[in-house]
Amino acid sequence: MGVAKRHAIKLLRRSLGLPTGDLDIVGRLDGAADGVVHGWAYCPAHSGRRVLVDIFADGVFVAQQLADRPRDDLAAHGFGDGRHGFDVKIPSALLRSAETRIRVLALAETPLELTATEGRPLLARRLGRDDYLRATFAGAFGDGALAGDDAARAARSPLRRTELLFAPTPVPAPPPILGETLCAYLDQNRYKWDLADKFDATVSIADREAFLAHYVEFYGRARRPLRIPLSARDIDFLYEGPTAQDRLAPSRAMRLFTQTPRDASADARLEEIFRWAAYGAAAFNVEDCLIAPAHEALLRSHEDTGARFPLSVFMTRFLDAHPILRGADLAQESERRAAYFAVLLFAARAPHYLRFIPPDWLETFLTPQAGAAPFDEESRRLFGARGVDIAHWRTAIETLGYDFGARSFRSRTPSGHRAHSATLPAPGGESVDIQLIGPFSRQLGIADSCRALAAALERLDYSLRLCDFTLDYPNRIREDAAPLPTTLQRAKINILHLNLEELPSAIAYLPDIWSEGRLIGFPYLEMATPHPAQMLGLTLVDELWSASDFTKDTLAVHRPTRTVGTSARPVRKKGRAAARTLAYADIARADEFVFLASCDALSGVYRKNPLGVMRAFLAAFPHEAKVKLVIKTHSVDRVRAPREMDVWRSIRNVVAECDRIALVDRILDDEEQMALIEGADCYVSLHRAEGFGYHMLEAMALETPVIATAYSGNMEFCDDRTAFLTPYRLVPVGPGEYPRMRGDQLWAEPDHTGAVAAMRAVFHDRAAREAKVAAARLLAETRFSTDAFAQRLDARIKEIMRRGAFR
């Protein structure tokens, strides 16, 4: 809207005695990323006021939020205190595609639509209460919205393994000083996200508060809409504050996540409690568990005037806070009924509002009285004959994890802990023999291992279900990945093919299917000692399978562990010349001897050690013009660790200065990747630690000689007969060289002289090269075939089935 038009409207409204300050709202819809809508809204005429915004996706109302998130950019530009931002997670059911149209209205007596361009918002149509509610909730209860089904109300499972997340941490720690030892899941989270040096909740109450604040604000908001685990003890700790003598005292959660009001009056304190309950807790995704019971009771209370449908403290303030809903004559029963209906409509997106409505009057409003229920009457008055009915409204409520019958969220376990798995119904239907769960769709090594395991299991005489689980796997999606279900089924044997640090997330965020069957973890381990972030995962499974003795030897002291091995991907050989033409057309000439090293940039540049390969290559062949090194990687642009970014910068510098070294930074499909390996004259891995080393095994299957560090998981198939082994010495892992690095961890430092000698041997000694290639191919085709893998799996599965060892 132009400045002249806005000024004319302001003059007209001023002449009619109407307020004009809301026309000065400024703001912006910054956009949407990963399903989260970001923006800001600010009213200069009332700089301390927070603007309410309504968010829509393809015309369907998603949420209402107070624009009060702190933003440094707004503060720097003089927009009040800078706390005028909003970010709202769009439910996946409404985020149909990248083209989903997002619309945000900044609420005023005349709503203003925020746009993605600089400048003032667009003036929307001025609406009365009923027109506003009709416009807001049109389509909100249709088939395409947040539809639910009977599964939302299915019986809950016992959550026995979920309860293990809240056991004492398995990581040894000194006795607390003034703080508290965290439960197992929160302590694991502290180690998993490299926070152990920053937070120690055992030291003091303030340190415990600091960790919980970080955990809820950063981890919790990132997980939206999933409910992050919180122990009953931590929930009670965050409730603390209000007492029988001072019900208006803020809870500890409010003190940690909201600003303390400057006005210490009773009304100002009550307003802060209302804002936390109505908007603040939901913004942190903790409205189900971190509104103190004393505050709930206070907000639910109402004056006992004898009038029908009395409004609670919460309802009155909710209406007063809303620029369009405020101002009704609440002395009239018809207006109070309309207010009940308005609050219940918003409760379909914010079910915690139901806890602030007088329960007896809520029941009355939903119960037929000489005909229709007041809810249905208000629905017909507002929407006509096609208005929302109570059943559809309740379905929307239940779908968001609220148990309408119990008047509480389903996110609490029998012991009072909070976990997302508690909100999910236990799968029904027939049980399968085996269910395999892993990140099938991702572009990474463990995903390849998932597919190899699935291929072997499919050859056995068992019913099998495959499920894709990708939480905490940021790797790119495989373009050729066949779609797999993400919902689980009951099974006699469940296999979680995840790394140990990801196992707790599966228990926390997937339905509880673990109580009936035997749970097997199938992780890879790169280091010879488990990290504290991996210790909880060891306690959650009945047994572990491993692809290598390296992993088995490390884990067997913690949990029963069996080496079942793995298999190489089936390969279709093209022949060296054809593969060279396909994969190296723009990289290497046909007459060049090519050494190939490969790694995912997100797997750790220090661990994979491509810089060591470059150093050895140039030492081995300082002047040979027809020898080339190719470093194959992908996702360098997604590396964020400063030290790793520095290494990749150095690698690019070397490539720019040496035309005998090439860097390929892109995703390849399977055919291209296999051609790259087959077309090379030697595959090199001077790794410092390796979970298994599938590319080395694939090189053996493709008859490409292999140079490898003689350490870790690859020693399952690398020996002096099958590979050119590089000696090593164990050295401490340096700071910043490995995720969640621990001071006592060691890994291999490949011997430079040995690596140089191996490269020269491969290049000059054709007989040795051919002998190792023949032995390696035979090993890959026999011990690491899909059939051999299936036989090893079948032996263990038969033992489990025979013994009925499902627990």
pLDDT of residue 156: 65
Same domain, 676 and 650: yes
- In this structure, are 625 and 669 located in the same domain? yes
Is position 674 within any domain?
yes
Q: Are 279 and 222 part of one and the same domain?
A: no
Please indicate, yes or no, whether residues 590 and 648 belong to a single structural domain of this protein: yes
Residue 96, class by beta-carbon neighbours within 10 Å (0-12 exposed, 13-18 middle, 19+ buried)? Answer: exposed
Q: Do 100 and 186 reside in the same domain of the chain?
A: no
- 473 in the same domain as 435: yes
pTM of this prediction exceeds 0.75? yes
**pLDDT by residue (tens digit) across 361-415?**
999 999 998 889 999 999 999 999 888 999 999 999 999 999 998 999 999 999 9
Check residue 100 and give its pLDDT: 85
Between 118-127, 506-515, 525-534, 691-700, the lowest mean confidence (pLDDT) is in: 118-127
Has residue 802 been placed in a domain?
no
| Residue 623 CB coordination number (10 Å) | 7
CA 206 to CA 203: how far, in whole Å? 8
The model's pLDDT over 599-626, given as tens digits with 9 standing for 90+, comes to 999 899 999 999 999 999 999 999 999 9
- Stretch 724-750: mean pLDDT, rounded? 92
Residue (of 645, 627, 414, 603) closest to 512 by Cα position:
414
Residues 147 and 234 in one domain: no
pLDDT tier, 146 (very low <50, low <70, confident <90, very high otherwise): very low
pLDDT for position 148: 44
Boundary of a domain, candidates 265, 299, 330? 265
Measured between alpha carbons, how far is 180 from 196 in angstroms, rounded to an integer? 15
Taking 60 as the threshold, does the pLDDT of residue 498 lie above it? yes
Question: How buried is residue 576: exposed, middle or buried, by Cβ count under 10 Å (0-12/13-18/19+)?
Answer: middle
User: With 80 as the cut, is the pLDDT of residue 40 above it?
Assistant: yes
Q: Which domain holds residue 739?
A: 576-784
Among 514, 530, 563, the domain-final residue is 563
Which of 156, 218, 230 lies closest to 410 in space, CA to CA?
A: 156
Is residue 728 within 8 A of residue 748, CB to CB? The reply is: yes
> For residue range 68-110, what is the model confidence (pLDDT) as tens digits?
999 999 999 999 899 999 999 998 877 766 678 899 999 988 8
The HSE-up count of residue 396 (CA atoms within 13 Å, CB side) is 27
Report how far residue 265's alpha carbon sits from residue 267's, in angstroms, rounded to the nearest whole number: 5
Q: Which of 535, 563, 591 represents a domain boundary (last residue)?
A: 563
Q: For the chain, how far is it from start to end, CA to CA, in angstroms?
A: 66
The CATH number linked to 96 is: 2.60.40
Q: How many CA atoms lie within 13 A of 164 on its CB side?
A: 19
Say whether both 220 and 276 belong to one domain.
Answer: no
Give the domain CATH number at 518. 3.40.50.11930
Residues 49 and 143 in one domain: no
Q: What is the CATH number of the domain that holds 748?
A: 3.40.50.2000
With contact defined as beta carbons under 8 Å apart, do 528 and 746 qualify? yes
Q: Are 764 and 631 within one domain?
A: yes
Residues 138 and 177 placed together within one structural domain of the fold? no
Classify residue 804: in a domain, yes or no: no
**pLDDT at residue 108 in the model:** 87
d(CA 398, CA 75): 40
Whether 143 has a pLDDT exceeding 60, the answer reads: no
Counting the structural domains of the chain, the total is 5
Amino acid 807: pLDDT: 53
Beta bridge partners of 630: 596, 662
How many Å apart are CA 131 and CA 402, to the nearest integer?
Answer: 28
Q: Are residues 492 and 365 in the same domain?
A: no
Q: What is the mean pLDDT of residues 628-656?
A: 95
Residue 419's nearest CA partner among 232, 555, 242 is 232
Q: Which long-range contacts (CB under 8 A, 24 or more apart) does 580-585 make?
A: 580/679, 581/679, 582/671, 582/672, 582/675, 582/679, 583/672, 583/675, 583/676, 583/678, 583/679, 584/630, 584/676, 584/679
Q: pLDDT by residue (tens digit) across 448-488?
A: 999 999 999 999 999 999 999 999 887 778 877 788 988 99
| Domain assignment of residue 795, yes or no | no
Q: What is the pLDDT of residue 670?
A: 87
| Band (47; pLDDT cuts 50, 70, 90) | confident
